[in-house]
Structure 1
Amino acid sequence: MTSLLKPIAFLSLLLAGAIFGFFYAWVCSTMWGLDAIDPRIAIAAMNGMNDSVRNAVFAPAFFGTPVALIVTAVFAKTAGRDRSAWAFGLAAAMYIVGAFAVTVAVNVPMNRVLLDTAVPDDIDAARAIWTGYSGRWQMFNTLRTVVSAGVLLLTGWGVFRLGAERAGG
């Protein structure tokens, strides 16, 4: 297991960076762009993006991040790299609670409601739907982004500690 510790640690870092980047892109561009256009188009575009995100490229980052972090924590603990193990374990717990669970409990159900909502022809009715959706969705996405940034930082710190830490330290 010790020989796999560094590769799995770097995989954890890669996946943590990928999921942080995914959530961050929604914060700093995608949602602002959708908020700036005709709400009828924004609703249709959001539904299209939500439908397309369930794919083999996204799945490893979203589902694999906590798995890789937990495996890395176990391998680090087994190798006597206690501080690193703590960092990877805490990163996994943060991700599961603050990003994965938030996605499953809040963002995905909101996406399903939006998908099931008929897009009205009336722009004011569409604006009311979009405004009600976008603000709340963005609040929870910002939470996922901040948590994922913390996960990335902890993972990076864990990788750094692997290089600095001696077994049993």
Structure 2
Amino acid sequence: MEVSRVIALVAATMTTGLSAGLFYAYACSVMPGLRGTEDRIFIEVMQRINVAILNGWFLLGFVGALATTAVAVVLHLPADGHRGLPATVAALVCYTASLVVTRRINIPLNDALAAAGDPSRIPDPAAVRGRFESRWVRWNVARALLCTAALGFLCWALVLHCDTVG
């Protein structure tokens, strides 16, 4: 059981770290880097990123974080594993909240941006960008913070686990 708990915690920490890093990169570099671009360029770049990101490597981290954190919670339910349980549950709650934000806010905004069509044919690209950018950025920062909190909780669960074993 001990080895399984450690493997689950490490896997959860790594995959959650990948998601936290992705959202952090958007918040700190991608979106600020696009801020000064022309509206059509902004729309085209974001449309391309939203298509390119849907790949197996992204899904491995994004879905893997939820799955491995849930497994870590289950493995910490036995009486001898309770010490790390609160931190692991907190991580699961934070990561799940980031998925809710993604599903309810960021994905619909991405879909609306895709539905706008070819940027060269959009009659009012400033309006399309205006409906997307500030709201998407704000909620991306929220999910970056939620994922970072989840990562911190998982790190704390590992510390508690190592303290128990050592």
Q: Fold match, TM over 0.5?
A: yes
- Per-residue deviation at 1:19? 0.5
* Equivalent pairs, count: 164
- Superposition RMSD in Å: 1.7
Q: Deviations over 1:103-133 (max 9, x none)?
A: 111100110111111325689x322321321
Q: How does 1:133-152 map to 2 (within 5 A)?
A: 133-152=132-151
- Stretch moving more, 67-76 or 22-31: 67-76
Name whichever of 30-39 and 49-58 sits farther off.
30-39
Separation (CA, whole Å) in 2 of partners of 1:9 and 1:151: 12
Q: Which runs of 5+ in 1 are unaligned?
A: none
User: Secondary structure at the residue paired with 2:56?
Assistant: coil
| CA deviation after TM superposition for structure 1 residue 16, in Å | 1.2
Partner of 2:46: 46
Q: TM-score, normalised by structure 2?
A: 0.92
Q: What residue number does 1:106 align with?
A: 105
Q: Which runs of 5+ in 2 are unaligned?
A: none
Paired residue type of 1:43: I
Encode CA deviations 1:80-99: one digit per residue, 9 max, x unaligned: 121311211121122112x1
SS in 2 for 1:81: helix
8 Å contact kept, 1:9–1:72: yes
Q: Could you state the TM-score of these two structures normalised by the residue count of structure 1? A: 0.90
What pairs with 1:4-153 in structure 2 (closer than 5 Å)? 4-78=4-78, 80-97=80-97, 99-118=98-117, 119=119, 125-153=124-152
